[in-house]
Amino acid sequence: MIENFSFLSAIILLPFVGMLFTLFSREDADGNSRNAFNVAFLSVCANLLLVLRIFSNMDLQENGLQLVERFNWLENPNIDIILGADTFSIVMIMSVHFSFLIGMFGARESQHLKSMMIFALIFLGMLTGFFLSADIFSFYIFFEAMLFPLFMLIGIFGDIRRDGIIYRFFLYNFFGAVLLFLAVIMLFNLHDGFLDIHKYDTLKHQSSLGIFVLLAIFISCLSRIPIWPFHYWISSISANIRSPLVFILTNLLPLTGLYGFMRFLPNNFHSSLVYGVTILEIIAVITMIFIALIGFINRDVQYKLFSYITVYYIMYLLSIINEDGLSIMNVAFSCFAFIIIISVLEILSGYLHLEQENKGLSPDGILCSAPRISFIYSFFILAAMGLPVSSLFVNNFLIVSQLIEENLQIGLIVVFSLTLTAGSLLKDYYRLKDRNHTSPNKPCIEDISLWRYAFGLIMILILLYSSIKPLWFLGA
Amino acid sequence: MISGLFILSLLSGFSGAILSRERYARFVSFLIATISLALLCNLFQNMQDGFAQPAIWSLLDYKQIHINLNLSSNAHNYSVLFPFLIMTFLSLLYTYFVPKEERRGRLSSLMLVSSAFLMLPICSDNFVVLVVGSSLCGISGIYIINDFSGKKNYVFYTLVADMSLFAAMGIIYSSTSNTDLDTLSYYAQTNQHTELTSLLLLLGIGIKSGLFLFHNQIFSYANLKFNRLIFMNYCVAPACGLVIFSKTAVLLSPNHIGGSILLILSFCSILYGVIGGLIYDNLKEKALCLNMLLWGFFFAVSILFPIINFSIFSWIFVLFFLINLWIAMVSQSCSEEIYISRLGGTWKKLPQLLLIAPILTVALSQQILTQVDSCGWLGWGLIVILLVIIPYLMHQIFLGRCECDEMVWAFMHSPSLFLLFPLYALPLFLIFQYQFSWELVIIFAIVILLTLINPLQVLSNLYERDDIQLSDFFERFYEVVLLAPLSILGRVLWLTVDFLLIERTILSSILHFRNILINFSAQMHSCQLIGYLLTIGLGLGIILILGVIY
């Protein structure tokens, strides 16, 4: 019976079921939404277990889609919804679930916790569905539908400038949505009811319409990646949202762009696309340096994190563009560590920000009196620097080697940008640790609780172990 | 065997660091020092027996890359590891005895962890483990430094060093698709960005070793206690720099630009070391200058006389380490006084320390003379430099007029015998173990004579000059040349691209265009003549466009 169980549909649906339970959960007498949090937490944990179960059903040596599930949606025109997974997509889903769990720990004390959990679970379900979509329609639907919960989250948890942020968010994503919609319709009509994304590479893109379709898909994917000029909406959200979970979810969105690129980028470019790819590479490296430099001078830790995230996403994009058949899994393993690192750094900086606000402190020297948070923070900063304490090190090494092999200048610019963003995070960390700004009379922040500390230590162990066993959860 | 030493050091080090409480700090420190001694004895025994055993584990197994962790026991690995384990043990011993040390147990544990990590680059046969090992060793250094500015400097420099090594290894791997260190000699001949690789290696090694131009981070150790300072200098970053150099020397020969620049920097380091050793008032800075001098000497010899055999330097490193320890004990005996200008005339109270310096100089000279075929004229140069610096230090510490504070004088005491023993025993053992020649007698006589005469007395006037003693020229240099332009560029880009171009131009235009469209449709839907005209005009326009297309 277990063989016939639709695991992929289940991991898409479970967050929605969790969302329904969260929706109907009762609040405490004093208005706390602890029940909602617990239900959401359990849903994500259950889903994570299901994801692990899926892994045990997969053959990791096989490259193609596995565990395919097909549902007929429309008879005329004949449209099927196809779900399928490969190792890359499941590693992405794992990463997203981990970061979601980490983000939940940061959001535990938030106001409007129930609404946050509801929309966050919808987003998680959509994102999971996106990574499992194997046909162009479900790809499009999940690609666009995940914006709705994010839109709501930004609207509810944004700061006083939320109108401007939502405007930018809508504008950029609307642009991408229209293009992707056109591309999907044209793809379906031009190629006689084409559906399966994984067979996209077999299509011929010689006609100008075919090239337009490809460009439309790429531009819509680019609108999700913080590459110039699309970086602006994500940077606005990152700099103006103080809720760690919303920050984390927003910064997971570029993964969808990368995934789109990975799925649709043909192995052999049409000659007219080669120039486009070169231009894209140039824009990418310029954006990388540009954002890294701005992150270096900016004093806002959220922006520094954003610049760090941007540099990594662009590095992954460059790696996917220059993919040689082997580097995709390096991107996945690096991404796994990267997402955990940024999520933990974000919840820690969110916690510090909250403490600062509550006690009216300046950030300088704030970590001196909190050894637990200081240790966790320092470890994750070291990991973020790319030192060999996580799978970032070896996988970044392979990605950078691959980029250098393709183009030395690009490879060196990537290394320079990585150094600059790591330096900017370090600069911020040492500002928080600067003992010269502390005095005995100054109030101190409260250190993180023991169970949060334990959670941080578990994350450290996962990172350390994943550096030598990237698929540790399988023993593979 | 080395793999066993590695595991034991790591386990006991981590256990000590995790379990160490302030109450048991001294006990943990003692325990760690004892473990270190046991490990050292084990290594020595194996070395004497010529015990050899391969120990290779698969560390990472990807489709495109296999990385093995090699901790094989063989004569070469023993000979390189041996001096570092001696220095680790002596540091641990000193840490146990040093008064008022913060979190002594944790420090000792970290020192042992660091020495375990140092085994990785020493035994590595591929460059990924080489970089990983040196990075891990560097990370342990972060936790050993307990001074804020020192730690900050160290981390930033380590980041740059590791990233440059990372990039260098990336370039090599992209050309060879192989991580074995053996392929470096093949790579050096391929001409595929080899000059760039050698420059990146130079940057990484230069920073880790604290050579001239990159010595700022090393000098920020001056705020640490002597035991931390000496350990950081001999068993952490510079040690990794030396090991990396010895494994990648084929890319740093004088034929490559990186090698040529490294040679120049080595001579500059020797020069800076000599001048700094003479003019700095701070004993810690003097010790750091001596170390800089040693690393400069090592690199210069290795490049000019390329017999890359680490073992010829082993005892030279250990003896320089002992000179550092001697300076540390002088300071500790004088109530932690660190300014040499506030010492003098201490021979009456510290006679045991007085004799150590000439013995160390003789032992060092003997080692250099033994290796003079490998070191060439540089060996003689180093002996001359030692004969200039050591007597100068001795005179100012022990002879001359006493400038000590009354309290310092009152509390002045000789260090414990436990600490003095290695300082006497090791150089004397070496002197009698190796060939004793008439040159050594002359060197001893010269040291005593120059100590008494002190021909460089005039230089002590420089101790009063704040512009020399407090100079932070290189820090300001990097701020002006490197950090300020980056900051200005970042700010300009932010203002022009993000603010002016995107926010004020593109987004603003779209917003205004949206308002125009809204006005336009509002006018169209108004029950006025203009509305009818606009609707008719729009319809005609659409018909016209469709007509043109079809």
Chain-chain contact of A388 with B193 (C-beta, under 8 angstroms): no
The pLDDT of residue A18 is above 70: yes
Chain-chain contact of A388 with B65 (C-beta, under 8 angstroms): no
Tell me the chain B residues in contact with residue A62 when contact means C-beta distances shorter than 8 Å.
none
pLDDT of A104-139, one tens digit each?
A: 888 877 788 888 999 999 999 999 999 999 888 889
CA distance B271 to B388: 13
Q: What is the mean pLDDT of residues A326-332?
A: 82
Q: How far is CA A239 from CA A102, A305, B520, in A?
A: 20, 9, 35
The pLDDT of residue A194 is above 80: no
Per-residue pLDDT at A100: 92
> Which chain A residue is nearest to residue B60, measuring alpha carbons?
A468
Angle of helix A113-132 relative to helix A7-24, nearest 10 degrees, comes to: 170
Find the CB nearest B493 among A294, A386, A415.
A294
CA distance A134 to A137: 9
Beta bridge pairs of residue A80: A72
Quote the distance between the C-alpha of residue A332 and its chain's center: 11
Specify the higher pLDDT residue, A42 or A370. A42
Find the CB nearest A387 among B139, B493, B494.
B139
Chain-chain contact of A430 with B155 (C-beta, under 8 angstroms): yes
Count other C-beta atoms under 10 Å from residue B524's C-beta: 16
Chain-chain contact of B62 with A232 (C-beta, under 8 angstroms): no
Chain B: closest CA distance from residue A260 (Å)? 24
Tokens (6 digits) for A188: 């379906």
Chain B: closest CA distance from residue A168 (Å)? 8
Three-class SS state of B470: coil
Interface test with B, best of A228, A306, A397 (most B CBs within 10 A): A397
Tell me the chain B residues in contact with residue A468 when contact means C-beta distances shorter than 8 Å.
59-60
CB B152 within 8 Å of CB A430: yes
Concatenate the DSSP letters of all residues of A80-136 into one string.
EEEEEE-HHHHHHHHHHHHHHHHHHHHHTT-TTHHHHHHHHHHHHHHHHHHHHB-BH
Chain A: closest CA distance from residue B164 (Å)? 8
Per-residue pLDDT at B508: 82
CA distance A397 to B171: 10
Chain-chain contact of B67 with A168 (C-beta, under 8 angstroms): no
Per-residue pLDDT at A376: 92
Q: Is A57 left (phi over 0), alpha (psi -120 to 50) or beta?
A: alpha
Tell me the chain B residues in contact with residue A329 when contact means C-beta distances shorter than 8 Å.
62-63
Query: pLDDT 10s digit of each residue in chain B, 550 long?
Result: 888 899 999 999 999 888 877 788 888 999 999 999 999 999 999 888 888 888 888 888 877 788 888 888 888 888 889 999 999 999 999 998 887 788 888 999 999 999 999 999 999 999 899 999 999 999 999 999 988 888 889 999 999 999 999 999 999 999 988 889 889 888 888 878 899 999 999 999 999 999 999 988 888 888 888 999 999 999 999 999 999 999 998 898 888 888 999 999 999 999 999 999 898 888 999 999 999 999 999 999 888 887 656 677 888 999 999 999 999 999 888 888 888 888 888 888 888 888 898 999 999 998 888 877 777 788 889 999 999 999 999 988 888 777 778 888 888 888 888 888 989 999 999 888 887 788 888 999 999 999 888 888 888 877 777 777 777 788 888 888 888 888 888 888 888 887 788 778 887 888 888 888 888 888 878 778 888 888 888 889 988 888 887 6
Find the CB nearest B166 among A329, A415, A426.
A415
> Which chain A residue is nearest to residue B499, measuring alpha carbons?
A232
Per-residue pLDDT at B24: 83
Q: What is the mean pLDDT of residues A384-394?
A: 89
CB A225 within 8 Å of CB A313: yes
Chain-chain contact of A411 with B494 (C-beta, under 8 angstroms): no
Chain-chain contact of B163 with A297 (C-beta, under 8 angstroms): no
The chain-wide mean pLDDT, for chain A, equals 85
Three-class SS state of A70: strand
CA distance B133 to B138: 8
Tell me the chain B residues in contact with residue A420 when contact means C-beta distances shorter than 8 Å.
486
Chain B: closest CA distance from residue A34 (Å)? 34
Find the CB nearest B193 among A330, A408, A418.
A408
CA distance B514 to B530: 20
Quote the distance between the C-alpha of residue B484 and its chain's center: 25
CA distance A432 to B319: 41
Chain-chain contact of A297 with B142 (C-beta, under 8 angstroms): no
Per-residue pLDDT at A423: 92
Three-class SS state of B182: coil
B56-61/B66-70 β-pairing: antiparallel
CA distance A113 to A42: 15
Question: What is the ipTM for the molecules in this complex?
Answer: 0.89
CB A370 within 8 Å of CB A448: yes
The pLDDT of residue A2 is above 60: no
Tell me the chain A residues in contact with residue B139 when contact means C-beta distances shorter than 8 Å.
382, 387, 389
Looking at chain A, the whole-number percentage of residues with pLDDT higher than 70 is 92
Chain-chain contact of B487 with A420 (C-beta, under 8 angstroms): no
Tell me the chain A residues in contact with residue B493 when contact means C-beta distances shorter than 8 Å.
290, 293-294
Find the CB nearest A423 among B64, B156, B494.
B156
Q: Residue A437: pLDDT band by 50, 70, 90 thresholds?
A: low
Per-residue pLDDT at A302: 87
Per-residue pLDDT at B355: 87
Tell me the chain B residues in contact with residue A423 when contact means C-beta distances shorter than 8 Å.
156, 159
Closest CA to B405 of B337, B325, B489, B332: B337
Find the CB nearest B490 among A296, A404, A434.
A296
> Which chain A residue is nearest to residue B511, measuring alpha carbons?
A167
Helix and strand totals (H; E) in chain A = 18, 2
Chain-chain contact of A426 with B491 (C-beta, under 8 angstroms): no
CA distance B454 to A169: 76
Least confident of A28-32, A155-159, A193-197: A28-32
Per-residue pLDDT at A31: 62
CA dihedral sign of residues A316, A317, A319, A325: positive
